[in-house]
Structure 1
Amino acid sequence: MEREIKLREAERWLSRRDTILRRLIGKIGPCGLKPMGSPYHVLLKSVIGQQLSLKAASTMEARVIGSFGSGKKFPKPIELGSVSLKKLRSAGLSLAKAETVKRIAAAYEEGNISDRKLRNLKDAEVLETLCSFKGVGPWTAEMVLMFALDRWDHFSLNDLILRKSIEKHYGIHRDSKKEILSFAEKFSPYRTIFSWYLWKDADGGEGW
């Protein structure tokens, strides 16, 4: 209930801030932003979904999870760490993604990273920590920040859908990254919610 109240407050703040966004909020309706799972789950989900369409990413994720039997969640780090690269490749993952998945599982199992540790870090520290793992880039880390850690003040400059949406609605070219980043600051402290509406308007989803 408290979350819903805060989301409605954010919507009102954003509506007052920008007329274009006010129209989007009116068209789309209440923000449905919510965590998509634990940091561990979203980290694996976003690694698998890198450079794939929403549909293809969802299919690939289901294949990987399905290869471990029943259930809708990724196996625990100790289980995932024991899976061979060959089995991950047979689920459709590229060698690079399969190696990254194994690397993440090992880091969790060894205690080098944990959901609790990530939740206690500041935004910039989360991005730095995750990007220190080979195969985990800025976009992947940002998805964890926004959709697992539920941080409400981040704009993913590495998401092409967001940049295209900025170009469509505000006329800033998608490749003018510095200008886009500067413009997005206008919507702080609710840049994640601003992003959610751009994603929703663009593809009916949440950037996934």
Structure 2
Amino acid sequence: MDRDARLRKAVLWLKKKDPKLKQIIEKVGPCTLEMMGKPYPVLLRAVISQQLSGKAAATMEARVKEYYGNGKKFPDPKILSALSVPKLRKAGLSVAKSETLKRIANAYLDGTISDHKLSKLNDQEVLDLLCSLKGVGPWTAEMVLMFSLDRWDHFSLNDLILRKAIQRNYGIHENSKKEILEFTAEFSPYRTILSWYLWRDHGPWM
């Protein structure tokens, strides 16, 4: 079964699972979940996006690519590792984010992390490895899991939009993380697809 067929099967399963979610799915339409790219660029993009509006993050991402990449792609690990923090700051990045990007580049250079290695790890191992880098938090690691590695059974408790969506649609308070986790477990093995619909119901995001 190809990916599109599996996606349709997942959506059908979710519609049968919950009447409220069925309404959201029918409102949003077919699931067009696509991967954003390989883990390395998605990881860099997620770091840049931390605690920023989509517009601000897109501006900084474009600057990094324009100044230090080829205009369309992020600089490769060797180039990124050699860039000074003041140089990265010129793209609008904070000192902390600049240092984190350099740590990621160094981790790729020394083999601590590789796209191939990440693809072979289970979900928790991916999160643990990425979060071992200072500046890479759970949300950032989860975005790689969901939007680069194509893992379909993850719900990001660290994403405020998702927690607000659960509160709005199901009445579970956004800060009741344990209850949210227990509730969303019912949608396994398609929690990423659930998340995609909740994001899309909120508005343009991914």
* TM-score category, normalised to shorter length: over 0.9
Could you tell me the TM-score, scaled by structure 1's length? 0.97
Q: Distance in 1 between matches of 2:24 and 2:117?
A: 36
**1:103-122 CA deviation, whole Å, 9 max, x = no partner?**
00011011111000000000
Q: 1:12, CA displacement in angstroms?
A: 0.3
Other-structure match for 1:183: 183
Q: Is 1:119 aligned to 2:143, yes or no?
A: no
Unaligned runs of 5+ in 1: none
Q: 1:205, CA displacement in angstroms?
A: 2.1
The code of the aligned residue for 1:193 comes to I
Aligned pairs for 1:101-116 (under 5 A) are: 101-116=101-116
The code of the aligned residue for 1:50 comes to Q
Other-structure match for 2:20: 20
RMSD across aligned C-alpha pairs, in angstroms? 1.0
- Which sits farther off after the overlay, 63-72 or 190-199? 63-72
- Which sits farther off after the overlay, 51-60 or 64-73? 64-73
Q: Distance in 1 between matches of 2:24 and 2:179?
A: 22
The answer (yes or no) to whether the contact 2:69–2:75 under 8 Å persists in 1 is no
Q: Is 1:67 aligned to 2:67, yes or no?
A: yes
Q: Is 1:148 aligned to 2:148, yes or no?
A: yes
**1:53-103 CA deviation, whole Å, 9 max, x = no partner?**
111111111111111253311111011111111110010000000000000
Other-structure match for 1:168: 168
Q: 1:158, CA displacement in angstroms?
A: 0.1
Identity of aligned residues (%): 64
The code of the aligned residue for 2:189 comes to P
Q: Distance in 2 between matches of 1:69 and 1:139?
A: 25
**Secondary structure at the counterpart of residue 67 of structure 1:** helix
Q: Distance in 1 between matches of 2:58 and 2:164?
A: 22
Q: Is 1:195 aligned to 2:195, yes or no?
A: yes
Q: Is 1:44 aligned to 2:47, yes or no?
A: no
**1:145-168 CA deviation, whole Å, 9 max, x = no partner?**
000101000000000000001011
User: After TM superposition, where is structure 1 displaced by more than 4 Å over at least 4 residues in a row?
Assistant: none
The code of the aligned residue for 1:144 comes to V
Q: Distance in 1 between matches of 2:146 and 2:25?
A: 19
The code of the aligned residue for 1:53 comes to S
Could you tell me the TM-score, scaled by structure 2's length? 0.98
State how many pairs are aligned: 206
Q: Distance in 1 between matches of 2:185 and 2:161?
A: 18
Q: Distance in 2 between matches of 1:204 and 1:97?
A: 25
Q: Is 1:56 aligned to 2:63, yes or no?
A: no
- Which sits farther off after the overlay, 71-80 or 40-49? 71-80
